Structure 1
Amino acid sequence: MTTIDTEPLSSAPVPFASAAASAGPAHVTVPVAYDGILLAGFGGPEGQDDVIPFLRNVTRGRGIPDERLEEVAHHYRHFGGVSPINAQNRALKAALEAELARRGIDLPVYWGNRNWAPYLSEAVTEAATAGDTTLLAIATSAYSSFSSCRQYREDYARVLTETGLGDRVTIDKVRQFFDHPGFVAPFVAGVTDAVRGIVEEGVAAERIAILFSTHSIPTADAQRSGPRDVDFGPGGAYQAQHEAVAAYVMAQVVAAIPDAAATPWELVFQSRSGPASQPWLEPDVCDVIAELPGRGAEAVVVVPVGFVSDHMEVLWDLDTEAVEAAEEAGLRVVRAPTPGVDPAYVAGLVDLVEERLQGLPVADRPHVTDLGPWFDVCRPGCCENVRAGFKPAAAGMAP
């Protein structure tokens, strides 16, 4: 196993960063001449033979035996062993390239994954070979936590070290985009359409429950999400960001459908994978769905607000398990769409690229909640992994 040399990291507050970001400003407000975009994905199997090797990659270092991995593998095997996530990222890469070309921005997009081919190491090596050494990363995750932000940053640092490219390739990242209007707009449209459609079927707005669902994470990790010097509440920045986005979405729905002011909503969680003894964020989406008839609900709209595309956690945990729970409860159920390659979302990601190319002032950066605009350069101690502590990470200040 490759050991990352941490010695060079003490020479700069932000390792592996562009000159503009290396001193650690929260927001980089000077133009940076990036020459490539690194699209960083999670990765997923593309056949039955890939499933267990992929899950070994996801759980590397935790010593989980294959028998336990098979408990998760059946989700993938149900769909022929193929996760939709790679196809979705290919589509997103193509959409980004088209939008960049439309705006006259001549930047190549290199795509690499954390857990399956094409790997991040391949993408970074390809970029360096082409002479593109000042990279701006877009991770396919909008919120702040270890698994949704810092782990990607640790992967950037690991890849630059393992490939020996850390002395000539830099990787910055766009800010977490949970409250960028381009990311949020598809959810506003989806929830509005779902509520309007259910009301037209004769269900009163107050009889519709809106459940905003996101991936559960260990409570201890949630509490450490975001910068350490800000109190975001018991769920840290991760939960606070989701709640703020959900509140904004509902405000827009009410503006379009005034009767929806009486529609109850809440943030719920899904896809828990830890031992029962370890506290994770709750309540679970299916548990809440089972309670809804007792609250007077006749219909439920499930909103995958924590996800950028219809990958396995959406297809299995929501479209399969949550839908089954709703049907068992006798509820009309609609699942709102994820951003995917919605033009507003794609345009928003390119807006984030332009933001850094231009060094856009903070006051000019669009955001729809009071938590934004989020940081370009992650703050010291941000999003610690409780189990493993801090490892070297790009695009943020060293702890």
Structure 2
Amino acid sequence: MALRNPLATLTKRATQSQIARHTASTQQQPWQTRRKMATIVPPVTQDSTSSKGPTAMVFMNMGGPSTTDEVGGFLSRLFADGDLIPLGRLQPYLGPLISARRTPKIKKQYAEIGGGSPIRKWSEYQSSEMCNILDRISPETAPHKPYVAFRYANPLTEHMYEQLLADGFGRGRGGRAVAFTQYPQYSCSTTGSSLNELWKWRQRLETKRAGGEVDEAGAIKWSVIDRWPTHPGLIEAFAQNIEAKLAEYPPERRDNVVLLYSAHSLPMSVVNRGDPYPAEVAATVYAVQQRLGSKNPYRLVWQSQVGPSAWLGAQTSDTVEHYVSRGQDDLILIPIAFTSDHIETLYEVDKEIIVEAEAKGAKGVKRAESLNGSPVFIEGLAQLAKSHLDSGVACSKQMGLRCPGCTSQRCLESKKFFVQQEALL
């Protein structure tokens, strides 16, 4: 019951009817057109290191190719990242080989979902709308300027950082920026990799390594929202989308629909190192189930495995196949670790898993809508960001704790940097 009370404000400001109207309007347009929904925000000039604003709000995510022409570069960067896909000392050789072999196949998949990933469109929309709310509820840190930094696709982290500098942050002028991870559950492979990349470019662009007269005292002051697996806004947004999908089943079948919470899997080598991701995803699932009243049976499953090594299971596709073979046709797939649609939902779930189930006669397999433009979700992002800005804390206590089996020097230095930023806020 503890999760219900904080949601009263959220549900008053963003009712289910608002969500229904938004969903209806966006479903009528192709995602390339809907990308124009993002509010245009003029550049902010930072000329004071003592004021609380302006504040840069940087949404960090994996990203995805916006066009099929970007697929090759996206895969090349993805398979070069040892934090995400650890290939050991052979990474510089195996990474390019794997990405080159997979590019034609992945291009076809992106072509089937509209010619590219909608994740940039949704990230820009979510960050822009969140900043509009923040300007209203947190005027002392306003104006809030939205930025998007992707790990493997445009806009890349280095391009975002260069834009920050061009907009008047840093380079002796100070200013504050918040790295807001859009992976609600922390993993060294996702949030950790993105923050390591951010730290790398900070070192290159705002220390003596950058050359010239660099005033490190006037560098950007960073803080991090590094995880938020049970935030009330996140939980309520998921729950409302699940309830909407459950309503499509006849009343006599509704309580027996199995909820399959599907998250991106991890290599077992990462899990066994002590990565917190599986536990944090499970925390999200449990919180959603509590909000729903635990009326339906459920399982947590894992998708998007790559390569022959062992990955965290059970696999989403195998789970659906097993249940369907046993006569359990009423299943709802819930993308529990994603904040918007992308290839894993639009192709892997919709066009592979669900289509294969339907071919076997299972007509009750559905997917809950992704968070995308949910007003409840965006309001939740703003409330979370305001709490962070008010706290004076640079990052969570968990952020400073390394995995028991971690041997990465870069990870160590990155964590130390963000933890030490608290003294500068």
Bigger mean CA offset, 289-298 vs 84-93? 289-298
Asked if the contact 2:191–2:226 (Cα under 8 Å) also holds between the matched residues in 1, the reply is no
Cα deviation 1:154-201 (Å, max 9, x = unaligned):
01111112223583123221140111011111111122222233133x
- Residues 1:247 and 2:280 aligned together: no
Q: 1:165 to 1:126 in 2, by over 3 A?
A: farther
User: What is the rounded CA distance, in whole Å, between the counterparts of 2:396 and 2:189 in structure 1?
Assistant: 17
Judging by fraction of residues, say which structure has more helix: 2
- Residues 1:268 and 2:310 aligned together: no
Deviating beyond 6 angstroms after TM superposition, the runs of 4 or more aligned structure 1 residues are 31-34, 383-389
| 1:310 counterpart letter in structure 2 | D
Asked if the contact 2:63–2:153 (Cα under 8 Å) also holds between the matched residues in 1, the reply is yes
* Higher relative contact order structure (alpha carbons within 8 Å, sequence separation ≥ 6): 1
Aligned residue in 2 for 1:191: 242
- TM-score computed with the length of structure 1 as normaliser: 0.76
Aligned residue in 1 for 2:402: 381
Aligned residue in 2 for 1:137: 179
Aligned residue in 2 for 1:110: 147
Over the matched positions of the two proteins, sequence identity in percent amounts to: 21
| 2:168 counterpart letter in structure 1 | G
Aligned residue in 2 for 1:356: 388
Alignment partner of 2:157 out of 116, 120, 126: 120
Alignment partner of 1:74 out of 81, 105, 108: 108
Q: 1:388 to 1:214 in 2, by over 3 A?
A: farther
Structure 1: gaps spanning 5 or more residues? 1-30, 227-236, 362-373
Q: 1:64 to 1:125 in 2, by over 3 A?
A: closer
Aligned residue in 1 for 2:70: 50
State the 1:384 CA deviation: 6.9
Q: Within 5 Å, give how 1:64-103 maps onto structure 2.
A: 64-65=96-97, 66-79=100-113, 81-103=115-137
Structure 2: gaps spanning 5 or more residues? 1-50, 82-90, 170-174, 209-215, 421-425
User: What is the rounded CA distance, in whole Å, between the counterparts of 1:76 and 1:177 in structure 2?
Assistant: 30
Cα deviation 1:204-239 (Å, max 9, x = unaligned):
523x2110000011112123355xxxxxxxxxx211
Aligned residue in 2 for 1:327: 358
Q: 1:387 to 1:299 in 2, by over 3 A?
A: farther
Q: What SS does the aligned partner of 2:71 have?
A: helix
State the 1:299 CA deviation: 0.6
Q: Within 5 Å, give how 1:270-289 maps onto structure 2.
A: 270-273=303-306, 275-276=307-308, 278-289=309-320
User: What is the rounded CA distance, in whole Å, between the counterparts of 1:290 and 1:386 in structure 2?
Assistant: 39
Q: What SS does the aligned partner of 2:249 have?
A: helix
Pairs aligned (count)? 336
State the 1:245 CA deviation: 1.8
User: What is the rounded CA distance, in whole Å, between the counterparts of 2:282 and 2:388 in structure 1?
Assistant: 27
Aligned residue in 2 for 1:298: 329
**CA root-mean-square deviation:** 2.8
Q: What SS does the aligned partner of 2:332 have?
A: strand
Cα deviation 1:339-366 (Å, max 9, x = unaligned):
22212221222222211221179xxxxx
- TM-score computed with the length of structure 2 as normaliser: 0.71
Aligned residue in 1 for 2:202: 160
User: What is the rounded CA distance, in whole Å, between the counterparts of 1:37 and 1:188 in structure 2?
Assistant: 26
Aligned residue in 2 for 1:173: 224
State the 1:114 CA deviation: 1.8
Cα deviation 1:42-77 (Å, max 9, x = unaligned):
232222222112211222263332123434333223
User: What is the rounded CA distance, in whole Å, between the counterparts of 1:269 and 1:386 in structure 2?
Assistant: 26
